[in-house]
Amino acid sequence: MDQRHPLPGRPGSEPPPLEEPTEPREPLPPKSDQSGPETVGPTGRATGADRAAMAQGGAHLTTAQGLRLPDTDHSLKAGPRGPVLLRDHHLREKITHFDHERIPERVVHARGAAAHGVFRGYGTAAGVTKAAFLAKDAETPVFVRFSTVLGSRGSADTVRDTRGFAVKFYTGEGVFDLVGNNIPVFFIQDAIKFPDVIHAGKPHPDREIPQAQSAHDTFWDFVSLHTEATHHTLWNMSDRGIPRSYRMMEGFGVHTFRLADASGGTTLVKFHWKPKLGAHSLVWEEAQIAGGADPDFHRRDLADAIEAGAFPQWELGIQTFPDTPDQTFAGIDLLDPTKIVPEELAPVQPIGLMTLNANPSNYFAETEQVAFHPGHLVPGIDVTDDPLLAGRLFSYLDTQISRLGGPNFAQIPVNRPHAPVNDMLRDGMHQTAVHRGVAPYRPNSLDGGCPFTAGADAGGYTEAPVEVPAAPRGREAPASFDDHFSQPRQFWLSLSPVEREHVIAAYTFELSKCYENTVKERVLRTLANIDPRLCEEVAHGLGLPAPEPSEPPAEVEPSPALSQVGQEWPVAGRVVGIVTGESGDLDSVRAVRQAVFYQGLVPLVIAPRGGVLEDGAGEPVTVQRTFANARSVEFDALLLAGAPAAGADAHGARDAKAGNGGAGAPVDPRVLLMTAEAYRHAKAVGGWSDAGRVWEAAGIDPGAHGVVGGDNGRDVLDGVVRLLARHRVWDRFPATV
């Protein structure tokens, strides 16, 4: 973590002005975490922050036409009690603009959060692609938008769903978009079914419920009738469906892409993003609590981490496969987007590093208006004939024309290429460029023949000359697309026992929310084909008989890379809650808070009330959370500086002595709830002083793994940090499957 950034509470930062200024003055500068890349003009030239375009120049309030205004709080009326006059242009302009402030939300991936960053190439891809941004030490600005798929723009972040992972690289050769997900496979094999799967996943059309959920009849109806959806659905029901943080998600390009080198050689690849912090998840109860307590959980986590200087990083990697005519690898059809290639068969080779280092300054302008497209390619990167990808290549531009109000959205600052643009596209809604010349066609003799086309030697994009197999036209899929169960079974077999338990619980929960038994029974039949034990456990939970498999279980080897459990990861940016009472041992709180911070984690002090805690002996301790607003889900680990007594609350200490009360005082029930939840969610908990009273009152075995006690807070912290490296203390919950 960047030590220049002050601790939360920001003692070093300039306090915001509290009084309304009486003289005009410059607006506050952007916060340090919001210094995005320089704006680029429609022609590709850097413009700097274009204040006129920001409509925020000058000290005085104006109309949209620049007319200065003396008042914006009163409509123009015929006398103070008289009628409002229709001639009040300012009133009409202000309300009309407001009436049109909203644009249609994305039909899928409506809920998102984004950040700016930089990508640095390792140069290791040079043998397979001529893409210049992948060259050694080439630096490219990026904008990344993470999203859920099903929910509306205002839905909760922590729902069970696939997450979008869309990256825009502003390369010198044009924009390259890698529009991926956090799950490496997709529900369907052909884009023509996309409207169907989304209609099935979205809320029911009659009552428009449930919001942002797959736990309803139509979703399960669809996926059980399209068994090609089994693999993606299984990933959704696994821990991957509820990530801990956007910072701790893998990303996948899903489709197979084709790379081309300078001499025309081609290689098939799958793209992977590997988070430096490892891939980690919430537990289901935590996700549900967070959905209510903090619906912005992931959005906040990303912005806070960047603001604190804990910049999230991912390595971009590729799995490479020979570009053979059959486009298969180890018997796996590379054009089938319901299939992965296990990393043990084709290792992921790192080719660059992405660091997200700036928050957007304006959500609407950037995160909402950004437009990704899988067809935004650069020389050296090409698509394959995956039929899912073919439909996507049509869909994104099409949907953006209506979402962004016309065909000129590439001129919106966040979408502008950083390479020069000379496109002969003209006019249309929201045209902001003032084009010169008279001849936007080619060839021409009037504008000096410009623009000129570019061959490959001048950086022009040429499609790889791939042979198209001759075959009769028809609506059909290759026979290899019929294998719907072998890879789901491989995924299931690759999970650790605790991850399998989560899968069972997720299917049981989701199907228990369905009303139609026929739907549940059909899903059980698909589960039987994945694994009889999975099917039996879910059937038992639903109170239904377990059906027999319709085909023998596939013979597959587990792929250990698919499990998220078992390794150690950096703990940077993890959130540690430090619970203390009013009269707790503040010296230890100060020391532990500082130690947490210096380990690159985020310390949050939780006390009975807000403000600062003082003991007259040292620096006052700033309180970041109170017992009334903190919930365990916010913290990766919890530390107890003693046993805060009941009696003090957010409205002030009712009992002046409340705090870490005497030996007999009951522990504050909110601290008990927080601790019990953290324990139940397999988080590390630690405590010193009389924290043992909390374990006792919360029914926690002080000897259980992951419960760290001791006399010295720093030692307790060290023990907790060691546990955090494994994300959770899973072995506290011996699994049964």
Q: Does residue 116 touch ligand HDE according to CB under 6 A?
A: no
- Residue 355-374 contact track with ligand HDE, rule CB under 6 A, x = bound: ---------------xxx--
Q: Which is nearer to ligand HDE, 106 or 244 (CB)?
A: 106
The reply on whether position 145 binds ligand HDE by CB under 6 A is yes
Per CB under 6 A, the segment of 20-28, 75-83, 103-111, 687-695 that binds ligand HDE is 103-111
Closest CA to 578 of 621, 540, 539: 621
Comparing CB distances to ligand HDE, the nearer of 216 and 392 is 392
**Which residues, including other chains, have CB under 8 Å from residue 108's CB and lie 6 or more apart?**
149, 150, 198
Nearer to ligand HDE, 106 or 416 (CB): 106
Interactions with ligand HDE, residue window 383-412 (CB under 6 A): 388, 391-392, 395-396, 399-400
Which residue sits closest to ligand HDE, CB atoms considered?
164
Kindly state whether residue 155 participates in binding ligand HDE, applying the rule CB under 6 A.
no
Between 111 and 727, name the residue whose CB sits nearer to ligand HDE: 111
According to DSSP, residue 302 is labeled H
Which range, of 177-185, 528-536, 655-663, 668-676, touches ligand HDE by CB under 6 A? Answer: 177-185
Burial class (CB in 10 A: 0-12, 13-18, 19+), 215: middle
The pair of three-digit structure tokens given for residue 661, joined into one six-digit string: 């009360």
The one catalytic residue in 90, 181, 373, 418 is 181
Q: Is 191 in the site for ligand HDE (CB under 6 A)?
A: yes
Give the DSSP H or E segment for 145: strand 139-148
- Beta carbon of residue 381, minimum distance to ligand HDE (angstroms, whole number): 15
**CA dihedral over 369, 372, 376, 377, signed as positive or negative:** positive
| 496: contact with ligand HDE by CB under 6 A | no
Minimum Å gap between C-beta 411 and ligand HDE is 16
Nearer to ligand HDE, 172 or 391 (CB): 391
Which of 8, 36, 112, 174 is close enough to bind ligand HDE by CB under 6 A?
112
Query: Under DSSP, is residue 566 helix (H, G, I), strand (E, B) or coil?
Result: coil
Q: Does 185 bind ligand HDE (CB under 6 A)?
A: no
Min. distance of Cβ 228 from ligand HDE in angstroms?
A: 13
Six token digits for residue 196: 């169907």
- Give least dist CB 172 to ligand HDE, A: 23
Q: Is 583 in the site for ligand HDE (CB under 6 A)?
A: no
* 194 makes contact with ligand HDE (CB under 6 A): yes
Task: Judge whether 602 and 574 are in contact, CB under 8 Å.
Answer: yes
Please check whether residue 254 is in contact with residue 208, taking contact to mean a CB–CB distance below 8 angstroms.
no
Residue 181 annotated to the active site: yes
- CA gap 621, 11 in Å, rounded: 11
Cβ(510)–Cβ(237) below 8 Å: yes
Taking each helix axis from N to C end, the angle separating 230-237 and 497-512, rounded to the nearest 10 degrees, works out to 100
Nearer to ligand HDE, 249 or 606 (CB): 249
571: which residues sit within 8 A by CB, 6+ positions away? 599, 600, 601, 636, 721, 724, 725
Stretch that binds ligand HDE, among 186-194, 242-250, 413-421, 681-689 (CB under 6 A): 186-194
Segment contacting ligand HDE (CB under 6 A): 174-182, 280-288, 309-317, 619-627? 174-182
Which residues, 6+ apart, have CB-to-CB distance to 221 below 8 Å?
200, 516, 519, 522
When binding is defined by CB under 6 A, the residue of 186, 220, 329, 409 that contacts ligand HDE is 186
Per CB under 6 A, the list member of 142, 254, 334, 495 interacting with ligand HDE is 254
| Of the candidate residues 158, 171, 181, 559, the single one contacting ligand HDE (CB under 6 A) | 181
Terminal-to-terminal C-alpha distance of the chain: 39
180 binds ligand HDE (CB under 6 A): yes
Which stretch in 35-43, 53-61, 176-184, 410-418 sits in contact with ligand HDE by CB under 6 A? 176-184
User: Which one of 21-29, 180-188, 205-213, 621-629 is the stretch in contact with ligand HDE (CB under 6 A)?
Assistant: 180-188
233 binds ligand HDE (CB under 6 A): no
Rounded Cα distance between 324 and 268, Å, is 9
Q: Single out the residue of 114, 127, 142 nearest to residue 351, CA to CA.
A: 127
CB of 429 to ligand HDE, least distance (A): 17
Selected binder of ligand HDE within 129, 140, 147, 624 (CB under 6 A):
147
CA distance 292 to 684: 23
User: Which of 113, 134, 150, 166 is close enough to bind ligand HDE by CB under 6 A?
Assistant: 166
Q: How many residues bind ligand HDE (CB under 6 A)?
A: 26
The C-alpha atoms of residue 143 and residue 366 are separated, in whole angstroms, by 9
Which residues neighbour 43 within 8 Å (Cβ) at sequence distance 6 or greater?
Answer: 420, 421, 422, 433
Whether 109 is a known active-site residue: answer yes
Tokens of 437: 């010349």
Binding mask 522-561 for ligand HDE (x = CB under 6 A): ----------------------------------------
Q: Which residues 6+ apart lie within 8 Å of 195 measured at CB?
A: none
Strand order in the sheet with 637-641: 625-626, 602-607, 575-579, 637-641, 684-688, 707-709
Shortest spacing between CB 283 and ligand HDE, in angstroms: 25
Residue closer to ligand HDE by CB (options 147, 583) is 147
Contact call for residue 164 and ligand HDE (CB under 6 A): yes
- Distances 538 to 279, 383, 593, 736 between C-alpha atoms, Å: 26, 40, 44, 14
DSSP H helices, 33-108, are 89-99
Residue 603: how many CB atoms within 10 A of its CB? 23
Active-site choice (5, 60, 89, 109):
109
Q: Which residues are catalytic?
A: 109, 181
Site residues (vs ligand HDE, CB under 6 A) = 106-109, 112, 145, 147, 164, 166, 179-181, 186, 191, 194, 254, 370-372, 388, 391-392, 395-396, 399-400
